[in-house]
């Protein structure tokens, strides 16, 4: 501890040598420290206040500067120390005094720095550590946490390799007839009258003509199906998307082609004799009727695909179980009730300057003081 204090004193001595030159008067400011200052005192920012910032005209009346150093939530602030660059003169009043404390409204006016004299007519303090920097070392214990993952089983609908069954749907298509119809030919007749006696020698010479009819008993029947297509999409056994086009018979027509035929038939006759009147029935024409036997044909019209998914499960993390274990003791500077603070809301650092009854703060014509802060975000 003694060696540490000596190094601090040496550091502050070197800092004082850097700033013994008189600085020009001006408004207060806060800016990051130089690399030399950071190395000597461990500060990150410096706030500079001069006599020109002290404007209170009433004697024995303090003035609080709250617009010098603004802090934001989550910043950790520590005042490393104060350095008096130029002593304040209290308007050359031999009994004048200028005291300074540093704090904030919530923690107290001297939370960072207790009272220090800045006036040359008193016993001015050229250097002073902040209250946090004057803390003592102590044994502290830090707890660490061990985290273990908890899991649960998540069920889902199926795997990526379902069993797919494709079932074609069918319909029955009726058509007009088969290729072997039953054809009936019916001749038509007429009665032919002739003249004659009751016992003649009759020579009858019939005259003939050719009768055409529609067909024979074995017509050629042609069935013409009308085709249609239907596209189905389903998954195969490897989870690939398969597109198939099914061609099916939508309807059919049956055409019977009859072979034309002809028949020679008698159309009239002449008789030479005394003929007994008589009559003869002769064929004059014929009609052919094809009776087609109705039939049916089952054809594919569409298909349905059914995928059977195999149920599965997956273990997923749901929560963590936290247990607390003690770590070995370590030695560190105490973050006590004075000198260090982590701000939870935005705030200001308050610099309070207090004169005595012999003078007012506005009477000072010289004076400059620096405050070195360590700011951790």
Q: How many CB atoms lie within 10 A of CB 255?
A: 12
- Residue 74 confidence (pLDDT): 92
Model confidence band, residue 19 (pLDDT cutoffs 50, 70, 90): very low
Q: What is the pLDDT of residue 97?
A: 94
Per-residue pLDDT at 161 = 72
CA 86 to CA 2: how far, in whole Å? 29
71-119 residue pLDDT tens:
999 999 999 999 999 999 998 888 999 999 999 999 999 999 999 999 9
Give the pLDDT score at 328. Answer: 38
d(CA 241, CA 257): 48
User: Tokens 């009433």 map to which residue?
Assistant: 58
At residue 216, does pLDDT exceed 90? no
Enclosing H/E stretch for 345: none
User: Does residue 107 contact residue 55 with C-beta atoms inside 8 Å?
Assistant: no
Do 346 and 69 meet the contact criterion of CB atoms below 8 Å apart? no
Rounded CA gap, 53 and 128, in Å?
A: 21
Structural domains for the chain: 2-142+331-376 (2.60.120), 163-310 (no CATH)
What's the CA gap between 195 and 269, in Å, rounded?
Answer: 10
Helix (H, G, I), strand (E, B) or coil at 361: helix
Cβ neighbour number for residue 150 with a 10 Å cutoff = 9
* Integer Cα distance of 224 and 252 in angstroms: 5
The whole-angstrom separation of Cα 242 and Cα 222 is 37
What is the predicted pLDDT for the residue at 40? 62
- If one compares 245 and 7, the residue with the highest pLDDT of the two is 245
CA distance 261 to 258: 9
The residue to which tokens 């003509």 are assigned: 209
């Amino acid at each position: 501890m003694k060696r540490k204090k000596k190094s601090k004193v040496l550091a502050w001595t070197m800092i004082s040598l850097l700033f013994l030159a008189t600085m020009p008067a001006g408004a207060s400011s806060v800016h990051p420290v130089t690399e030399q200052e950071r190395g000597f005192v461990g500060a990150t920012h410096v706030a500079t206040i001069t006599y020109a910032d002290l404007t209170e005209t009433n004697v024995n009346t303090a003035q609080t500067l709250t617009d010098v150093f603004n802090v934001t939530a989550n910043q950790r602030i520590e005042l490393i120390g104060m350095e008096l660059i130029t002593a304040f003169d209290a308007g050359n009043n031999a009994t004048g005094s200028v005291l300074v404390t540093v704090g904030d409204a919530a923690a107290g006016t001297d939370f960072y720095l207790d009272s220090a004299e800045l006036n040359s007519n008193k016993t001015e303090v050229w250097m002073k550590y902040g209250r946090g920097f004057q803390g003592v070392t102590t044994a502290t214990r830090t707890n660490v946490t061990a985290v273990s993952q908890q899991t649960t089983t998540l069920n889902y609908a199926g795997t990526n390799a379902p069993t797919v069954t494709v079932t074609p749907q069918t319909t029955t298509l009726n058509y007009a007839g088969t290729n072997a119809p039953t054809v009936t030919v019916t001749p038509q007749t007429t009665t032919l009258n002739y003249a004659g006696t009751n016992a003649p020698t009759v020579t009858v010479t019939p005259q003939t003509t050719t009768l055409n009819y529609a067909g024979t008993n074995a017509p050629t029947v042609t069935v013409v199906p009308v085709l249609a297509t239907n596209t189905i999409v389903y998954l195969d056994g490897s989870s690939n998307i398969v597109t198939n086009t099914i061609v099916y018979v939508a309807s059919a027509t049956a055409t019977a082609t009859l072979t034309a035929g002809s028949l020679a038939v008698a159309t009239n006759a002449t008789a030479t004799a005394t003929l007994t009147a008589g009559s003869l029935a002769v064929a004059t024409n014929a009609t052919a009727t094809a009776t087609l036997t109705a039939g049916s044909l089952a054809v594919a019209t569409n298909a349905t695909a059914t995928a059977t998914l195999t149920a599965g499960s997956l273990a997923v993390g749901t929560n963590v179980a936290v247990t607390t274990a003690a770590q070995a003791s370590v030695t560190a500077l105490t973050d006590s009730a004075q000198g260090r603070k982590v701000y939870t809301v935005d705030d200001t650092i308050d610099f309070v300057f207090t004169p005595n009854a012999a003078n007012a703060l506005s009477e000072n014509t010289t004076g400059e003081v620096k405050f070195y802060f360590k700011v951790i975000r």
